[in-house]
Amino acid sequence: MDSSAGEHGMARSGLFLLLTGLMWRFGGACPESCTCTISRIVCIDSEPGIEDFPVLTLDDMENITEIHIANQNRLFDLSDSSLRHYINLRNLTVTRTRLTSISSDAFFNNTRLQYVNLRDNNLSTLSWRTFQNFNITFPLLLSGNPLDCVCENLWIKLKLQEEADSPDLTCTDDRGVTRDFATLTPPDCVVPTVEVTPKNVTEMEGGNVKAVCSASGSPAPVILWNLDMLSTHYEIDPSDTESILTLTGLSSDDNGRKIVCSVENMVGQSEATLELNILFPPAILQLLPPERNHHWCIPFTVTGNPKPELRWYHNNTTLEEQDFIRTIIHEYTENEDHGCLQLVNPTHIHNGKYRLVVKNEFGQDEKTVSAQFIDPPYFNTTEPEFGYSFSDPSLPPLDDSVAVSDPNLVYVVVGIAGVALTGCVLMVIILKYGRNSKFGIKGSSSVISNDDDSASPLHHVSNGNNTPSSSEMGPDAVIIGMTKIPVIENPQYFRNSGSMLKSDTFVKHIKRHNIVLKRELGEGAFGKVFLAECYNLVPHQEKIHVAVKTLKEASESGRADFYREAELLTNLQHEHIVTFYGVCVESDPLIMVFEYMKHGDLNKFLRSHGPDAVLMADGQHSILVELTQSQMLHIAQQIAAGMVYLASQHFVHRDLATRNCLVGENLLVKIGDFGMSRDVYSTDYYKVGGHTMLPIRWMPPESIMYRRFTTESDVWSLGVVLWEIFTYGKQPWYQLSNNEVIECITQGRVLQRPRTCPKEVYDLMLGCWQREPYMRLNIKEIYSMLQSLAKASPVYLDILG
């Protein structure tokens, strides 16, 4: 218990040092009269004072959510340059200053403002345009200012009539008399109103439309039509109280467009719209050859109003859509529909011409594209042996004399068939027993996957474009429902990594006598991992703790893999990748030296700091503090940073999970795997063919079915890692067997939102779990989103009860 309390004391000290560091970070830019933290600026000291808002680094200003300024005698005005870069500002207080004027665009970039306190300054007039982006439901406090009782300030009365600040709000009339702002009624001062006639127009393409925008108000308002991006030719005929818009030759590109007429004067603004419904015949904008993603797809884009009916023809025969061949619309817009004809596992009988016909009441259009999904099989002209008949009705019937014209041909065919049958039997025997043969014949798993369990999980992506064949069946196949899916080696990874490594790679060699083993940490397929002390490794420290990974088998191939992995790891240098120090190859066993991460793997750490921590302590009720939401986001942000780096180096991890991340002091998290997780966390892996270990609970559909691993598949795994973090280390799909998990993932199901997970984080997970790889979030986007969430106050996160 004392040890645990000590650890938490160190954690608190680390947090204090972190906050102190953040304060020093702003030290160079924060004015002397102010105090700056990562999200807040406070300037209340009058001496020496400030003349404008503090100018910090761009990143630091974007992180600020609250600014409090008071007692500043040299602050006279605010302009758009004052707050331009404080884009995440939510709360603003400027009080007891000499603030006299605020420009109309001062808050143009501060779209997240929720609270503005401008009490006790020297403001006499304020334009409504200054606050046009400010939500009218949020507080705006203005009492204590010498406001004038003029028309320009009437909008304040209308804005604040329901707010608590309004009873204290006063103004001074032209005679110098102070009046209650609620009684302000300046002459010739009326909020503008607007009406557009007609409001909705339905007209054929090429037709003409005339609309009138009528306005009233005092002073006389200015009338403006917003015609940006309008394709149709237009003319405007303005007058004092109305503006006539004439559209000629209506373009179908403007269908569904809402044209805004706005009127404004010094009291305020009002808007009305004209909506265009333009009728036009359908057109096929594009019809592309088939593309293969998860399924085959013939992409198309069509337009038309009303929406056209779609009909497909295959080789001039109407195509009846079913579950395995159907039209899917991916994106609807006002004018265009983007979609595809999806075909699930098409064969040679689906080859041919595909014609798309689109039709509505004003016309039709059609286009044709050729499709070749798979080469047709070769069919012998003799009658099939098992009663199946393949024939083409367009071909003439076979001449029976051809089959019997040469009796010797029959004996040759029978002889060839006998030899082929014998060969097939021998092949089956070799495949069945060859894997463990004393002659060293390797089974299909060796061919299907070159990945040894002891190999590093990181893989460099090459530019190979070989496509795996889904017909390569073997004992390493995965059963999905009634379908047997072969486990195919991903062809995108290097086989000879030497060409992929930097030419100047230098692996540091460490002397054996400088390594002192302390205790064993674990054991994997490759060998053992030890905690050790290493002398003379880093400057200014005589010795440091390190993790030592040994190589069990020093065969020629094992040594080659060892050196290759050492070169690979030497090139990976990042603050959130476990540091690789070097190797020791003076004698067996061969050794790799890594930095030692005090708290072990992240999965164990999460479980020991979650609600079930006491249950896992085996009766030893140690005091363990449950992780907070901000700490979870901090962990996730660090892992994402490491993955951004790996992606930038064109490396694919393939086994990203909390078990393969390590935790050090002060909640420092790094990606790293000593290869022990396949033994320690054996239930996390699905053993295929007695050799290959697949982390299917972390894998996307394309990796399970086709062994296709990319940066996008790592993004899927990162989403699962987020789920692990917010469930305190639970196993994904823990209630299901491995086969049930495969079924769920390949059918499109995803993990449910954890009880304590913010909606924003779960939305991010869903962005990682898009079925199509190209639709998943980019790894940099994920890192940026996690950064923003980690910086935001918890009050802005939606938490499930």
Query: Residue 659 corresponds to which tokens in the numbers above?
Result: 């078990």
Query: Residue 480 corresponds to which tokens in the numbers above?
Result: 């999905």
Q: Which of 97-111, 165-179, 243-257 has the lowest mean pLDDT?
A: 165-179
Most confident of 165-174, 337-346, 404-413, 555-564: 337-346
Taking 80 as the threshold, does the pLDDT of residue 19 lie above it?
no
Distances (CA, A) of 436 to 96, 442, 446, 478, 488: 86, 7, 12, 21, 21
Name the region of 304 (left: φ>0; alpha: ψ -120 to 50; beta: rest).
left
End-to-end CA distance of the chain: 31
pLDDT (mean) for 332-356: 87
Which of 480, 568, 538 is closest to 747 using CA atoms?
A: 480
What is the model's pLDDT at position 133?
76
Residue 531 sits in the same domain as residue 436: no
Taking 90 as the threshold, does the pLDDT of residue 322 lie above it?
no
Check the annotation: does 362 bind a ligand: no
Query: Residue 702 corresponds to which tokens in the numbers above?
Result: 């394309």
Question: Which distant-in-sequence residues (6+ apart) come within 8 Å of 379 by Cβ?
Answer: 390
Question: Which distant-in-sequence residues (6+ apart) come within 8 Å of 189 by Cβ?
Answer: 151, 154, 218, 219, 267
How much is the CA Rg of the chain, to the nearest whole Å?
Answer: 36
Residue 619 sits in the same domain as residue 741: yes
Q: Which of 190-194, 500-504, 522-526, 584-588 has the lowest mean pLDDT?
A: 500-504
Taking 70 as the threshold, does the pLDDT of residue 227 lie above it?
yes
- Domain closes at, from 278, 302, 320: 278
Kindly tell me the sign of the dihedral angle through the C-alpha atoms of 201, 203, 209, 210.
negative
pLDDT (mean) for 316-341: 87
Residue 245 sits in the same domain as residue 300: no
Query: Residue 766 corresponds to which tokens in the numbers above?
Result: 């869903």
Taking 50 as the threshold, does the pLDDT of residue 447 lie above it?
no
Q: How far apart are CA 507 and CA 293, in angstroms?
A: 40
- Render 692-728 in DSSP notation, one character per residue: EEE-GGG--HHHHHH----HHHHHHHHHHHHHHHHTT
Burial class (CB in 10 A: 0-12, 13-18, 19+), 176: exposed
> Using an 8 Å Cβ cutoff, are 355 and 366 in contact?
yes
Residue 450 domain-assigned? no
pLDDT (mean) for 127-144: 82
Which of 676, 681, 684 is closest to 548 using CA atoms?
A: 676
Residue 115 sits in the same domain as residue 173: yes
Taking 70 as the threshold, does the pLDDT of residue 756 lie above it?
yes
Q: Which of 69-78, 255-264, 742-751 has the lowest mean pLDDT?
A: 742-751
Taking 70 as the threshold, does the pLDDT of residue 727 lie above it?
yes
Taking 60 as the threshold, does the pLDDT of residue 477 lie above it?
no
Residue 63 sits in the same domain as residue 137: yes
Check the annotation: does 21 bind a ligand: no
Distances (CA, A) of 382 to 15, 388, 413, 418, 590: 82, 12, 11, 17, 64
Taking 60 as the threshold, does the pLDDT of residue 99 lie above it?
yes
> Using an 8 Å Cβ cutoff, are 669 and 599 in contact?
no
Name the region of 256 (left: φ>0; alpha: ψ -120 to 50; beta: rest).
left
Residue 657 domain-assigned? yes
H helix or E strand, kind and range, residue 56: none
Higher pLDDT, 375 or 70: 70
> Using an 8 Å Cβ cutoff, are 53 and 43 in contact?
no
Taking 60 as the threshold, does the pLDDT of residue 16 lie above it?
no
> Using an 8 Å Cβ cutoff, are 795 and 91 in contact?
no
- Domain closes at, from 183, 211, 243: 183
> Using an 8 Å Cβ cutoff, are 213 and 261 in contact?
yes
pLDDT per residue over 242-274, tens digit each?
999 999 999 999 999 999 999 999 999 999 999
Higher pLDDT, 401 or 203: 203
Q: How far apart are CA 799 and CA 423, in angstroms?
A: 65
Q: How far apart are CA 14 and CA 667, in angstroms?
A: 9
Dihedral over alpha carbons 474, 478, 481, 484 (to 10 degrees): -20
Q: How high does pLDDT run on average in the chain?
A: 78
- Render 582-646 in DSSP notation, one character per residue: EEE-SSSSPEEEEE--TT-BHHHHHHHTSTTHHHHTTT-----PPPPHHHHHHHHHHHHHHHHHH
> What is the domain count for the chain?
5
pLDDT bracket for residue 693 (50, 70, 90) = confident
Range of the domain at 427: 408-441
Share of the chain above pLDDT 70, in %: 74
> Using an 8 Å Cβ cutoff, are 306 and 279 in contact?
yes
User: Can you give the pTM of this predicted structure?
Assistant: 0.45
pLDDT bracket for residue 3 (50, 70, 90) = very low
Check the annotation: does 210 bind a ligand: no
Q: How far apart are CA 311 and CA 328, in angstroms?
A: 13
Residue 79 sits in the same domain as residue 223: no
Residue 395 domain-assigned? no
Q: Which amino acid is at 236?
A: I
Share of the chain above pLDDT 90, in %: 41
Taking 70 as the threshold, does the pLDDT of residue 31 lie above it?
yes
Residue 283 domain-assigned? no
Residue 41 sits in the same domain as residue 59: yes
Residue 228 sits in the same domain as residue 179: no
Check the annotation: does 529 bind a ligand: yes
What is the model's pLDDT at position 550?
86
Taking 90 as the threshold, does the pLDDT of residue 458 lie above it?
no
Taking 50 as the threshold, does the pLDDT of residue 77 lie above it?
yes
Which of 731, 715, 727, 800 is closest to 765 using CA atoms?
A: 715
Most confident of 132-141, 460-469, 544-553, 672-681: 544-553
- Domain closes at, from 313, 348, 371: 371
What is the model's pLDDT at position 680?
63
Check the annotation: does 690 bind a ligand: no
What is the model's pLDDT at position 415?
56
Check the annotation: does 249 bind a ligand: no
What is the model's pLDDT at position 364?
94
Q: Kindly provide the residue ranges of all beta strands, DSSP E only, lying in 146-295, ordered along the sequence.
A: 170-172, 178-180, 190-197, 200-204, 209-218, 222-226, 233-238, 242-248, 258-264, 269-287, 291-292
Query: Residue 505 corresponds to which tokens in the numbers above?
Result: 């790679």
Question: Which distant-in-sequence residues (6+ apart) come within 8 Å of 311 by Cβ?
Answer: 318, 356, 357, 358, 359
Q: How far apart are CA 350 and CA 759, in angstroms?
A: 44
Kindly tell me the sign of the dihedral angle through the C-alpha atoms of 200, 205, 210, 214.
positive
Residue 420 sits in the same domain as residue 353: no
**Enzyme catalytic residues:** 655
Residue 658 sits in the same domain as residue 790: yes
Q: Which amino acid is at 290?
A: P
Q: How far apart are CA 38 and CA 26, in angstroms?
A: 8
pLDDT bracket for residue 697 (50, 70, 90) = very high
Tell me the CATH number at 729: 1.10.510.10
pLDDT (mean) for 395-415: 40
Taking 60 as the threshold, does the pLDDT of residue 403 lie above it?
no
Q: How far apart are CA 170 and CA 182, in angstroms?
A: 8
Residue 295 sits in the same domain as residue 224: no
Check the annotation: does 528 bind a ligand: yes
DSSP state of 539: T
Q: How far apart are CA 399 and CA 86, in angstroms?
A: 86
What is the model's pLDDT at position 422?
59
Q: Which amino acid is at 275?
A: E
| N residues, the chain | 801
Residue 449 domain-assigned? no
Distances (CA, A) of 138 to 162, 308, 792: 11, 46, 19
Distances (CA, A) of 660 to 352, 518, 602, 603, 671: 49, 23, 7, 8, 6
Question: Which distant-in-sequence residues (6+ apart) come within 8 Å of 484 by Cβ?
Answer: 473, 477, 478
Residue 565 domain-assigned? yes
Check the annotation: does 522 bind a ligand: yes
Give bridge partners of residue 301 from the DSSP assignment.
286, 338
- Render 298-350 in DSSP notation, one character per residue: EEEEEEEESPPEEEEEETTEEPPPBTTEEEEEEEE-SSEEEEEEEESS--GGG
Higher pLDDT, 166 or 219: 219
Residue 560 domain-assigned? yes
Residue 689 sits in the same domain as residue 745: yes
Which of 69, 166, 160 is closest to 118 using CA atoms?
A: 69
Tell me the CATH number at 272: 2.60.40.10
Which of 634, 548, 625 is closest to 592 using CA atoms?
A: 548
pLDDT per residue over 559-618, tens digit each?
888 888 888 888 888 999 999 999 998 888 888 999 998 888 899 999 998 887 655 444
Q: Which of 114-123, 492-501, 524-533 has the lowest mean pLDDT?
A: 492-501
Residue 480 domain-assigned? no
> Using an 8 Å Cβ cutoff, are 267 and 225 in contact?
no
